[in-house]
A = this chain, B = another copy of it.
Amino acid sequence: MKSAPESAPARLRQLVGQGVAVIDTPALVVDLDAMQRNLQRMADYAQAHGMRLRPHAKMHKSANLSLRQMQAGAVGVCVQKTSEAEALAAAGVPDIYISNEVIAPAKLARVATLARTLNAHNGRLAIAVDHLQGVEALAQALGAGENLIDVFVELDVGQRRCGVAEPANVLPLAQAITRHPALRLAGLQAYNGRAQHLRSVAERRTALDEVIARVREARRVVEAAGLALPLVTGAGSGTFGLEATSGVFGELQAGSYLFMDADYARNDTDPDQPAFEHALFVKTQVMSVSTNHVVVDAGHKSHAIESGLPRVHGEALEATSCNDEHTTLRATGGVPLPALGSTLWLIPGHCDPTVNLHDWLVGVRGGLQAGTVTELIRVDARGFLD
């Protein structure tokens, strides 16, 4: 929870219009040309497959980027946190799905306020539940009124994290939702985050077989009781081609495709999914040189490493360790090490928590070598945790 600065610091503002070389290090830089190609590629894919696209904004936490995705056809965005939804709504994003459970009465009161605010502006709020207690607390927070919020029942489809453990147990939650006029039973939340990062296509297909079988079973049980689950929503950047062709999913929630990170790049390519380009980089400088390694001035306070160390863009160098403010690199293939002061570009291991370390993204057009800073993109929900 924080108050985000409304405008960028002067040192960043003065970069706009200047060449890439003047960006001081470390800085989080977006190749806007590559990002735009990724954005359009996913929009085209969703349209071609008759799928709604609701990208996950927990990745970029930016209203600006949410609205660009919606302009290209996305129906809205997902977030994980109430405060993220509040921040994006305040910055003009009209259709937001908190694809996660909220239990605390104090936060549910904020959810209720936000739902009414969005409804009053022709927008919409949705949320997930996985427990009867959560349904009742949500209904109590919303109070009187009809059809105020869309509610998805989350089913555990293999990640063993949140969600109803058994497909048959979706039914009592669906029934509970329909007993409250303020709540609209919107469908099923079915996302397996672990499946996104299985390296082989075969492993991902096997994981998705379980996802799809569990979704079909939940739908069968609910429909047998005379209720409908209008929409099944889920999917990430590693598997969305499997959800899109499953015949049961209606909406894709992928987020990382917009920036692509080193972890997703370690997946084997699925020929049935469009390919995406790296669009997010940490600009760094070599600050120390030794006989067999160099050290750059960006550590894991600049780029998240919980999903693996960063790659070095376009260089025969590999990261061997990373500390708070340093990343150590060695040469691969016997090439000479870069000189003290050299610029290097890291491809972060995981884009979501990397973006969350920064208040502003430095947007570049014309490439990382000769490009120009054209805009600064605010990370509106940076550090919004609650």
The segment from A36-44, A227-235, A352-360 that touches chain B is A352-360
Complex contacts, A160 vs chain B, CB 8 Å = 290, 293, 328
The segment from A174-182, A206-214, A318-326 that touches chain B is A318-326
Q: How far is the CA of A107 from the CA of B297 in the complex (A)?
A: 12
Say whether A305 faces chain B, with CB atoms less than 8 Å apart: yes
Chain A, range 116-168, C-beta contacts under 8 Å to B: 130-131, 133-134, 156, 160-163, 165
Chain A, range 273-307, C-beta contacts under 8 Å to B: 285-291, 293, 295, 297-298, 300-302, 304-306
Complex contacts, A360 vs chain B, CB 8 Å = 1-2
Contacting pair A24 B386 (CB below 8 A): yes
Say whether A12 faces chain B, with CB atoms less than 8 Å apart: yes
The segment from A3-11, A218-226, A263-271, A364-372 that touches chain B is A3-11
Chain B's closest residue to A22 (CB) is B106
Given contacts A5-B3, A104-B285, A352 and B324 within 8 Å (CB-CB): yes
Interface 1/0s, chain A 319-343, versus B by CB < 8 A? 0011111101000000000001100
Complex contacts, A107 vs chain B, CB 8 Å = 24
Contacting pair A80 B324 (CB below 8 A): yes
Complex contacts, A293 vs chain B, CB 8 Å = 160
Contacting pair A353 B340 (CB below 8 A): no
Given contacts A25-B386, A104-B24, A359-B383, A290 and B1 within 8 Å (CB-CB): no
Contacting pair A287 B103 (CB below 8 A): yes
Q: How far is the CA of A324 from the CA of B81 in the complex (A)?
A: 11
What's the tally of chain A residues with a CB closer than 8 Å to chain B? 71
Contacting pair A100 B9 (CB below 8 A): no
Q: How far is the CA of A52 from the CA of B301 in the complex (A)?
A: 28
Say whether A77 faces chain B, with CB atoms less than 8 Å apart: no
Contacting pair B357 A165 (CB below 8 A): no
Contacting pair B386 A295 (CB below 8 A): no
Contacting pair A386 B26 (CB below 8 A): yes
Given contacts A2-B5, A161-B288, A163-B288, A103 and B325 within 8 Å (CB-CB): no
Complex contacts, A101 vs chain B, CB 8 Å = 287-288
Looking at A163, A165, A323, the one whose CB has the most chain B CB atoms below 10 A away is: A323
Complex contacts, A297 vs chain B, CB 8 Å = 103, 386
Contacting pair B289 A131 (CB below 8 A): yes
Provide 24 A-B residue pairs closer than 8 Å at the C-beta atoms, listed in order of the A residue. Answer: A1-B9, A1-B11, A1-B359, A1-B360, A2-B5, A2-B9, A5-B5, A25-B386, A58-B325, A80-B325, A102-B287, A103-B285, A103-B286, A103-B297, A103-B341, A104-B285, A104-B341, A131-B289, A160-B293, A161-B321, A161-B323, A193-B323, A302-B385, A357-B383
Q: Which 7 A-B pairs rank lowest in CB-CB distance, beginning with the nearest?
A: A162-B288, A3-B5, A2-B359, A80-B325, A101-B287, A3-B9, A26-B385
